[in-house]
Amino acid sequence: MNKYRYIVVEDEELICQNIIRKIEGLDLPLQFCGEAEDGEKALALIDQQNPHIVFTDIKMPVMDGLMLSKELYFAYPQIKIVIISGYDDFEFARLAMKYGASDFLLKPLELDELRTCVLHITALLDASGKILLEDSGMASSMSRQEIADYVEEFIKKNYKENITLNDIADSLGFTPDYISKIFKKEKNITPIKFITKLRINGAKQLLACTGLDILSISQNVGYTDQFYFSRVFKAQTGMYPSEYRNRKEMN
């Protein structure tokens, strides 16, 4: 039986351990592969572990569950997200569902609801074949290097558009997992990090050399949400776009 890897994202350690114990107690085909206390650390863990399921709280420091869901929606659309939160977080949870969250569970977790949720998600994963087989591309005449080169060129041509990992995978007929693993092995960077690198470098040039406003710049490099763009820019450079522009103008 396939085992699906999962992580838990929760800033309260006792609650986190309780969630893990309840999931492990279900005796279902799941494999725990890590925990994180906020969305930013979760993204680093996801990049390392490539989980199939993410169980996440909504209200967390640094990056909350809503922003994490949004990141995963664009960067890792194949990952199933389960929101675990309180009644007062329902509106946030509803928004997270818009960004692809598969289910919403209330604290404290009820075992029957948790079991139903996990069974539903594992059935979806079974049906869509999300467990990556290393030979899944054997039917193709392309080598791994050719696949990685194709993905690189595809990204360079399309990074200014609102592309996702699914778009790249669909263009080749492979799963997003397979594309991501091949690209990372051959190029030493994930497709999503490569997209982000190109977008931020493009934004830096526009900030330094044009008078375009922040919204126009974000749209020019592939971000439809100006505030999301600003957060990504700060995470990559340590400065908000306006700060970066002001510093360049002073030099």
Query: Which residue in the block uniquely carries the two structure tokens 């399921």?
Result: 53
Q: Do both 86 and 25 map to the same domain?
A: yes
Three-state secondary structure string covering the chain: CCCEEEEEECCCHHHHHHHHHHHHCCCCCEEEEEEECCHHHHHHHHHHHCCCEEEECCCCCCCCHHHHHHHHHHHCCCCEEEEEECHHHHHHHHHHHHCCEEEEEECCCCHHHHHHHHHHHHHHHHHHCCCCCCCCCCCCCCCHHHHHHHHHHHHHHHCCCCCCHHHHHHHHCCCHHHHHHHHHHHHCCCHHHHHHHHHHHHHHHHHHHCCCCHHHHHHHCCCCCHHHHHHHHHHHHCCCHHHHHHHHHHC
Please indicate whether residue 142 or residue 117 has the higher confidence score (pLDDT).
117
- Let me know if residue 207 belongs to a domain: yes
Q: Is the pLDDT of residue 1 over 70?
A: no
Confidence band, pLDDT 50/70/90 cuts, at residue 87: low
- Let me know if residue 9 belongs to a domain: yes
Strand partners, 106: 85
Check whether the bond before 108 is cis (ω within 30° of 0): yes
Give the per-residue pLDDT at 177.
78
Give the per-residue pLDDT at 163.
81
Confidence band, pLDDT 50/70/90 cuts, at residue 251: low
Q: Do both 208 and 244 map to the same domain?
A: yes
Q: How many domains does the chain have?
A: 3
Q: Do both 123 and 226 map to the same domain?
A: no
Q: Do both 94 and 41 map to the same domain?
A: yes
- Let me know if residue 69 belongs to a domain: yes
- Let me know if residue 232 belongs to a domain: yes
Give the per-residue pLDDT at 76.
79
Q: Is the pLDDT of residue 11 over 90?
A: yes
Q: Do both 107 and 223 map to the same domain?
A: no
pLDDT digits (tens, 9 = 90+) for 95-139: 767 777 888 888 888 999 999 999 988 888 776 654 444 444 443
Q: Do both 109 and 222 map to the same domain?
A: no
From 8-17, 113-122, 175-184, the region with the lowest mean pLDDT: 175-184
- Let me know if residue 139 belongs to a domain: no
Mean of per-residue pLDDT scores for the chain: 84
Q: Do both 63 and 166 map to the same domain?
A: no
Q: Residue 237 belongs to a domain with what CATH number?
A: 1.10.10.60
pLDDT digits (tens, 9 = 90+) for 48-75: 888 889 999 988 888 888 888 888 877 7
Give the per-residue pLDDT at 90.
67
pTM higher than 0.85:
no
> Per-residue pLDDT averaged across 214-226, rounded?
91
- Let me know if residue 112 belongs to a domain: yes
Q: Do both 74 and 161 map to the same domain?
A: no
In contact, 62 and 40? CB cutoff 8 Å? yes
Please indicate whether residue 96 or residue 209 has the higher confidence score (pLDDT).
209
Strand partners, 35: 8
Give the per-residue pLDDT at 103.
85
Please indicate whether residue 251 or residue 50 has the higher confidence score (pLDDT).
50
Q: Residue 102 belongs to a domain with what CATH number?
A: 3.40.50.2300
- Let me know if residue 65 belongs to a domain: yes
Q: Do both 114 and 167 map to the same domain?
A: no
Please indicate whether residue 131 or residue 215 has the higher confidence score (pLDDT).
215
Q: Do both 50 and 112 map to the same domain?
A: yes
With a CB cutoff of 8 Å and minimum separation 6, the contacts of 4 are: 29, 30, 31, 51, 52, 53, 121, 122, 125, 130, 131
Strand partners, 82: 55, 103
Instruction: Give the residue numbers spanning the domain of 180.
Output: 144-188
Q: Is the pLDDT of residue 215 over 60?
A: yes
Q: Do both 72 and 103 map to the same domain?
A: yes
- Let me know if residue 94 belongs to a domain: yes
Q: Do both 150 and 130 map to the same domain?
A: no
Domain boundary, last residue among 134, 154, 177:
134
Phi, psi dihedral angles at 64 (to 5 degrees): -80, 180
Angle at 70 between CA 153 and CA 222, to 5 degrees: 35
Residue 39 exposed, middle or buried by CB count within 10 Å (0-12, 13-18, 19+):
buried
Q: What is the share, in percent, of the chain residues with pLDDT greater than 90?
A: 37
